[in-house]
Amino acid sequence: MQLYVIRHAIAEDRRHDVSDTERALTARGRRRMRYAVAGMARLGVGFDLICHSPWLRAVETADLLQPFRPLLLSWNQKGELGTLTGADQVASPPALEGEALFCGLYANELTTRFLQRQDSHPGFFDVYRELVGQLSAGELSQPLLRTFEARLLKSAGFGLQLEHEHGTSEEIIKSAWYIYEPETGPRRSEYDESRAKELVSGEALLALKSGIIEDRHLRELKALMRKLIRYHLGGKPLNSQALFF
């Protein structure tokens, strides 16, 4: 048995109007603890059981040490501010380690950046749960992420056009090359070595549509999805990409 003793992350300063037991973690404290968790994952450190103090800063730190816990939440809401009334763990957390953990953190950040808090997205939780389960089962991460990104963009209202060339009724041709414009979709183009990074093959687009992505498609699709995600986020970077992308 290995025992790790971990101090809570950076918490709010003491205040006369807040009990010491109710001091929460700061944004900086949460961010640094997430990086610490990622570092421990690189070293193969995981936890089967976490015991912690009932004080708020310890509870919040424990939550960060064991991410992806399936929770059933209930709340009341009147106006802009809601009140959490219950949070029950309904299953054991999936065993995500190493690259699979980083992929999960990336999916989390991507989801929170694209989906608005007050908007309903029926069915998308099942998409997310499927991804986490597949990562936990050890499936290849890159094809899973490309499919997840496309499904997330669709749920956010930015679905990809993967059937026809923009402005025509011409179906995507497997052997052709395209430039994919974020606002309009694929536009056929002649292959040019000097513009190779801008091009995506019809074969890769059709693979993304079918969800059957092979190794030869990964480079093109990764470049395509990065381009689209960057565009729709207004050029703002994703912090989780610094972990391994």
CA angle 239, 124, 64 (to 5 degrees): 40
Q: Which residues contact 53 (CB under 8 A, 6 or more apart)?
A: 59
**Residue 123 — very low, low, confident or very high, per pLDDT cuts 50/70/90?**
confident
**Residue 89 — very low, low, confident or very high, per pLDDT cuts 50/70/90?**
confident
Q: pTM here? A: 0.76
Q: Among 190, 209, 208, 211, which Cα is nearest to 199's? A: 190
Asked if residue 163 has pLDDT above 60, the reply is yes
Task: Supply the pLDDT for residue 244.
Answer: 58
Q: Which fold has domain 93-243?
A: de novo design (two linked rop proteins) (1.20.1440)
| Predicted confidence (pLDDT) per residue in 165-211, tens digit | 998 989 999 999 999 999 999 999 999 888 888 999 999 999 999 99
Residues of the chain with CATH 1.20.1440.120: 93-243
Asked if residue 245 has pLDDT above 60, the reply is no
- Residue 33 tokens read as 């603890």
Task: Supply the pLDDT for residue 205.
Answer: 97
Q: Which residues contact 171 (CB under 8 A, 6 or more apart)?
A: 163, 164, 165
> What is each CA distance from 124 to 95, 120, 128, 147, 151, in whole angstroms?
21, 9, 6, 13, 8
Q: Among 121, 124, 143, which Cα is nearest to 134's? A: 143
CA dihedral 115, 236, 232, 154 (to 10 degrees): -40
Mean pLDDT of 75-96: 77
**Residue 86 — very low, low, confident or very high, per pLDDT cuts 50/70/90?**
confident
User: What is the CATH architecture assignment of 1-66?
Assistant: 3-Layer(aba) Sandwich (3.40)
CA distance 57 to 29: 10
Residues of the chain with CATH 3.40.50.1240: 1-66
